[in-house]
Amino acid sequence: MSSKTRARKKNEKILLLPGAGGWETWKGVNGGGLALATRTSEHRALEVDGIPSGELVMAFPVRDVSSLPFRAPTTDEALFGDMGEMHIERLGMHPRADAGVLSDVFAVGLRGDESVLQPVVLAPPPVGALPKRSPRVFDISARCLPLPDRAVVLWRELGRWVFAVAEGAKPVHFQALASSKLGREAGREIQLSLAQLRIQGVIEDLPSECLVWIGDEEPAPEPEDVETLAAGFGGRAGVAAKPAPFLPENPSRLLPADVRAERAAKRQRQQTILLSSVAAVAYLGAIGWLVWTLMAQNRRNAEIQAEIDELEPMVAGIGDHYKKWQELQPVTEVEHWPVELMFNAANAIPKDGRLRLKRAEIVNQLKISEQGGKELQRSIRLQGEADELEQANMFNLNLKESDALREYVWITPPPNEDAKTGRWIFNYDASHDPVAAAAQ
C-alpha cells in the first residue's frame, strides 16, 4: 500500500447513520462529501457488521433524543451552556451523573436581544444500542442531514417516522412521531408541536410546507397518504429524494457512560504500560530518573498554581452570576409567564361553554423589601360566573388537578348565587408554593 493510500485511509471518516429500515454506513474523506458504503436491516447497532475502517462517527436516532428548544434572554455565547443546562434541570430531565455525558446545547439563531437555544437530552443507550467498535464522536441524525430552511421534513428511521424543522440549516426542533404511518394523524401531531413552539416564541411563523424524504430503498408513499398528511398539517405536502448526509462542523459532546468507561480503561492500560517502561528505565538509572522526576513535578506544581491563580476571579464571578440569574427568574421560567398561566387556566374551563372568566389577575415579580431582601411572588386570582353550580365546581376541580398548575395552592370558597341574574359568582385565588402543593 502506497504512502498516499495509507494517508487517505487515515483521514477517512465513517458515519453510522440510522436508515429507513436499518443502519447505514457512509464514507468520506476530510473536507469531502459522504458516499453510501453499506446498508443493513439491523435495528441494533451492535449487530451491524462490516463497518469500514476509519474514524467512526455515530449518529443517534431522533427517537432516542429529547429536543427542548427555548428562548434565552441573552446573546452572550459564554452563557449558552449554563442556561441550557439550567433549562434541562428546570424541566426535570437532567441525566444521572453516572450515565455519561448525555446532554448538550446548540445555538440556533437570534431574536433581537434574545437567542434561540436547543438543549438536547439523550436517553441512556440500552444493551446492543452501540456498535462493536467504539465511535470516536457521537452526534444526532437530524444534525447530519441538510434540512431546508423553515420547512418541515419527514423521514423514516429504523421503521419509525420522525420530523424536523430548521432555521438557517440548523435544526430548531426534531421529534419522533407516535403515528406509525403517514396520514392525517401524523400531520396533526406535527401541527400541534409547531403550534407549541410558536407559543413559546421559538419559531416566528408556522411553516406552510411539509416535505417527505424517501430513500433509494424505500417505496414511494401513496398519494392519498400524502394528501391526508397535508390536510392534517394544514399546508402543502410533497415527496422528494432523501439527500446524502454530512458530518457537522461542530460535533456534539455526547458520550455514553459505556464508551467513557472503555476510554478510561484504555487510558489506564496505557498508563500501566508507561509505568512499566518507566520502572525499567528507573532500574537502570534510579538516581538520575528521580532527580529529573522531582524537577518535572516542581515545574508541574508551578503550572498548576498559576492556573489556580488565573481561575480565582472566574470562581468569584460565579456567585455574582447566580445572583443575577435568580433575578431573571420571572422571565426565564416560561411556565410562569402570565400568558402561559392564563392559557392553562382557560384549559380548565368546562367544555360546555356556560362558564366565563370576568377578571384575571396574575402576579409574577421579584419583590425587594426595605431591608434589601428578595422574594419571588407568584399568584393567580380568577373571578367569573357560571350558569350552574356544577360548572363552577368542575372548574374548581380542573384547576386543582391541572398538571400545568400543580405547583400552585388554590383557595376556592364556595360560589355565591346572584339574586338578580341567578348565576353563580366565584372567586378563586392561588399562590405559588411547590412544597405545599406536593403535600396536598
pLDDT in tens, 111-155: 889 999 999 999 999 998 999 998 999 999 999 999 999 899 999
Distance CA 192, CA 236 (A): 16
Cβ contact 162:155 at 8 Å: yes
pLDDT in the model for residue 179: 78
Mean pLDDT of 154-178: 94
CATH code for residues 61-118+144-241? 3.30.420.40
pLDDT(267) > 90: no
- Read off the C-alpha cell for 377: 411572588
Which residues make Cβ contacts (< 8 Å) with residue 165, sequence separation at least 6? 147, 150, 151, 152, 153, 171, 172, 173, 174, 194, 197, 203, 207
Amino acid found at 151: A
Amino acid found at 300: R
Say which residue, 107 or 260, is predicted with more confidence: 107
User: Cell 492556573 appears where?
Assistant: 307
Domain boundaries, the chain: 61-118+144-241, 268-327, 334-439
**Can you identify the CATH homologous superfamily of domain 334-439?**
General secretion pathway protein M, EpsM (3.30.1360.100)
Picking from 55-59, 254-258, 304-308, 311-315, which range would have the lowest pLDDT averaged per residue? 311-315
User: Which phi and psi (to 5°) does residue 364 adopt?
Assistant: -150, 85
pLDDT in the model for residue 29: 81
Give the burial class of 4: count Cβ atoms within 10 A of its Cβ; 0-12 exposed, 13-18 middle, 19 or more buried.
Answer: exposed
| Nearest in space to 154 (alpha carbons), one of 185, 182, 129, 135 | 182
Where residue 201 falls (left for φ over 0; alpha for ψ -120 to 50; beta otherwise) is left
pLDDT in the model for residue 30: 72
Distance CA 128, CA 256 (A): 13
| Nearest in space to 100 (alpha carbons), one of 127, 80, 81, 121 | 121
pLDDT in the model for residue 305: 83
Amino acid found at 248: P
User: Which phi and psi (to 5°) does residue 65 adopt?
Assistant: -125, 135
pLDDT in the model for residue 338: 85
- Read off the C-alpha cell for 423: 348565576
pLDDT in the model for residue 180: 77
| Nearest in space to 144 (alpha carbons), one of 57, 65, 213 | 57
Mean pLDDT of 395-422: 92
Mean pLDDT of 70-84: 93
**Element housing 256 (H / E):** strand 255-256
CA angle 341, 431, 400 (to 5 degrees): 65
pLDDT in tens, 89-101: 999 998 888 888 9
SS3 212: strand
pLDDT in the model for residue 75: 92
Mean pLDDT of 219-238: 93
pLDDT in tens, 34-52: 999 999 999 999 999 999 9
- Please report, rounded to a whole number, the percentage of residues in the chain having pLDDT higher than 70: 84
| Nearest in space to 99 (alpha carbons), one of 316, 254, 281 | 254
Positive or negative: CA dihedral 119, 125, 131, 134: positive
Cα 355 off chain centre by: 38
**Other Cβ atoms closer than 10 A to 78:** 7
Cβ contact 123:65 at 8 Å: yes
Cα 165 off chain centre by: 14
pLDDT band at residue 330, thresholds of 50, 70 and 90? low
How crowded is the C-beta side of 435, counted as CA atoms within 13 Å? 0
| Nearest in space to 305 (alpha carbons), one of 317, 294, 297 | 297
Mean pLDDT of 42-69: 94
Distance CA 131, CA 435 (A): 44
pLDDT(319) > 80: no
